[in-house]
Amino acid sequence: MMNTKLNGLFCPESVAVIGASNSFDKLGYHVMKSLVEGRYAGRIFPVNPRGGEIWGLSSHASLGAIPEPVDLAVIAVPAKFVPETLHECGKKRVKGVVMITAGFREIEDSKGEALQEEIGRIARTYDLPVIGPNTFGFVNLTFGVNASFTPEFSRLNKGGIALVSQSGGFCHLCGFLAMDQRMGMSKLMSLGNRLNVGFPELLHHLVEEDEATRVITLYIEGLDDPRELLDAAKALRGRKHIIAYKSGKSEKGDSASRFHTGSLAGDYQIWQGALRQAGMLEVVSAEQMIDVAKALDVCAPLKGPRIAVLSGQAGPGLIAADSVEKAGLQLARFSQKTQEIINRILPPIAIRSNPVDMGPAWYDAKSSLEILQAALEDEGTDGVIFIAMFASANVGLAKSLAEHLRTAPAFNKPVVGVFTAPRGVWDKEIAQMDGAGGISIVPTPERAGALMGDLFRANRLVNRV
Give residues 111-170 in contact with a second copy (rule: CB under 8 A): 112, 136, 149-152, 155, 165-170
Q: What is the total residue count of the chain?
A: 465
Edge to edge, the sheet with strand 215-220 lists 145-148, 137-140, 184-190, 157-165, 215-220, 241-246, 281-283
How far is residue 143's CA from residue 70's CA, in Å, rounded to a whole number? 17
**CB closer to a second copy, 405 vs 442:** 442
Single residue of 96, 198, 445, 453 touching a second copy by CB under 8 A: 445
How far is residue 88's CA from residue 101's CA, in Å, rounded to a whole number? 16
**CB closer to a second copy, 118 vs 322:** 322
Closest CB 254 distance from a second copy, rounded Å:
9
**CB closer to a second copy, 21 vs 85:** 21
- When asked if residue 264 is in the footprint of a second copy (CB under 8 A), the reply is no
- When asked if residue 209 is in the footprint of a second copy (CB under 8 A), the reply is no
Q: Which stretch binds a second copy (CB under 8 A): 91-99, 230-238, 256-264, 334-342?
A: 256-264
**CB closer to a second copy, 29 vs 411:** 29
Strand partners, 163: 188, 217
How far is residue 393's CA from residue 143's CA, in Å, rounded to a whole number? 44
For residue 220, the one-letter residue type is: I
Strand partners, 409: none
| 3 state SS of 253 | helix
For residue 303, the one-letter residue type is: K
Q: Which stretch binds a second copy (CB under 8 A): 204-212, 223-231, 259-267, 456-464?
A: 259-267
**CB closer to a second copy, 50 vs 252:** 252
The footprint of a second copy on residues 24-83 (CB under 8 A) is 24-25, 27, 29-30, 33-34
Which DSSP helix (H) or strand (E) runs through 158?
strand 157-165
How far is residue 3's CA from residue 263's CA, in Å, rounded to a whole number? 22
Cα(first)–Cα(last) distance of the chain, in Å?
A: 30
**CB closer to a second copy, 2 vs 31:** 31
Closest CB 128 distance from a second copy, rounded Å:
25
Is the distance from CB of 199 to CB of 191 less than 8 angstroms? yes
How far is residue 232's CA from residue 191's CA, in Å, rounded to a whole number? 17
- When asked if residue 456 is in the footprint of a second copy (CB under 8 A), the reply is no
The footprint of a second copy on residues 404-443 (CB under 8 A) is 420-423, 425, 443
Provide the mask over 5-34, with x wherever binding to a second copy is found by CB under 8 A and - wherever it is not.
Answer: -------------------xx-x-xx--xx
Q: Which stretch binds a second copy (CB under 8 A): 195-203, 291-299, 315-323, 399-407?
A: 315-323
Closest CB 346 distance from a second copy, rounded Å:
11
Closest CB 294 distance from a second copy, rounded Å:
16
Closest CB 413 distance from a second copy, rounded Å:
19
Is the distance from CB of 29 to CB of 23 less than 8 angstroms? yes
- When asked if residue 259 is in the footprint of a second copy (CB under 8 A), the reply is yes
Count residues binding a second copy (CB under 8 A): 85
**CB closer to a second copy, 26 vs 43:** 26
**CB closer to a second copy, 408 vs 425:** 425
- When asked if residue 284 is in the footprint of a second copy (CB under 8 A), the reply is yes
Structure-derived torsion over alpha carbons of residues 446, 452, 455, 457, reported in degrees to the nearest 10: -90
- Concatenated DSSP letters for 5-29? GHHHHHS-SEEEEET--S-TTSHHH
How far is residue 164's CA from residue 463's CA, in Å, rounded to a whole number? 23
How far is residue 406's CA from residue 2's CA, in Å, rounded to a whole number? 42
Provide the mask over 318-357, with x wherever binding to a second copy is found by CB under 8 A and - wherever it is not.
Answer: xx-xx--xx----x----------------xx-x-xxx-x
How far is residue 117's CA from residue 325's CA, in Å, rounded to a whole number? 52
- When asked if residue 103 is in the footprint of a second copy (CB under 8 A), the reply is yes
